[in-house]
Amino acid sequence: MRLTLNHALAVLAAAVCMGVSPAYAAVNGSHAKIPCTACHAGQAAPAAPAQKACLACHGSYEALAKKTEGKFNPHDSHMGRVECAQCHSMHKKSRFICHDCHAIPNRTFKGE
């Protein structure tokens, strides 16, 4: 994906206004063309979006669990309903918190 000059300037301006480094403000993957306010509306300081912001586009938590059914399902775990930002990040590399305790091989994030 190629960033346009206008998009790059908008990211830089948002970073300055929110007090974050421009390197952190860059968005990766499938969310790169979504405006910051779609996920961070009403936030005075940089923070992970609330789960309700994620689910507004991605559907219910139960629907996500259905989409990721299988032997290992991170959206249907013994930890309950985990905040999306615990694993997913659009500004840096995402990581499975399940790996903190479990040895689950070959897990990748779709679209990131």
Q: For the chain, which residues make up each domain, given as ranges?
A: 5-100
Longest dimension (CA), the chain: 45
Is a pLDDT exceeding 70 seen at residue 10?
no
Is a pLDDT exceeding 60 seen at residue 24?
no
70 burial level (CB within 10 Å; 0-12, 13-18, 19+) = exposed
pLDDT, tens digit (0-9, with 9 covering 90-100), for 31-73:
888 888 889 888 877 788 989 999 999 999 999 999 988 878 8
5-100 under CATH 1.10.1130, yes or no: yes
Report the alpha-carbon distance of residue 82 to residue 89 in Å, rounded: 14
pLDDT at 1: 45
Report the alpha-carbon distance of residue 15 to residue 10 in Å, rounded: 8
Q: What is the chain's mean pLDDT, rounded?
A: 78
Report the alpha-carbon distance of residue 87 to residue 24 in Å, rounded: 17
